[in-house]
Structure 1
Amino acid sequence: MATLASSMSSLRGSKIRKWQGCSKQVRQQRARLYIIWRCTVLLLCWHD
């Protein structure tokens, strides 16, 4: 039973690490999209 509990806790830890990696990628993607959006707005409003 001890091995089952340890394998479950390691599985849970890997899921958390995987989610944190995905979360980091999503945050980076949102940052890139924000920068692109801001540059586009600045270029469009440049002539005004």
Structure 2
Amino acid sequence: MAGTVVLRCCTSVTKVRTWKRCSKQIKEQRARLYIVWKCAVFLLSSHD
């Protein structure tokens, strides 16, 4: 039984690490899209 508990703990830790990595990449992608969107708005509004 102890082996099973250790395996479950390790599996959950791996999932957390994967989720943190994925979450970080999502945040970075959102930041890039936000910057591109702001630049586009700026360029379109400065057309005057």
Same fold (TM over 0.5): yes
Runs of 5+ consecutive residues of structure 2 not aligned to the other structure = none
Query: Deviating runs (4+, > 6 A) in structure 1?
Result: none
Identical aligned pairs, as a percentage?
Answer: 48
Q: Distance in 2 between matches of 1:47 and 1:16?
A: 47
TM-score, length of structure 1 as denominator length: 0.94
Runs of 5+ consecutive residues of structure 1 not aligned to the other structure = none
Q: How many residues matched?
A: 48
Q: Which residue of 2 aligns with 1:3?
A: 3
CA RMSD after TM alignment: 0.6
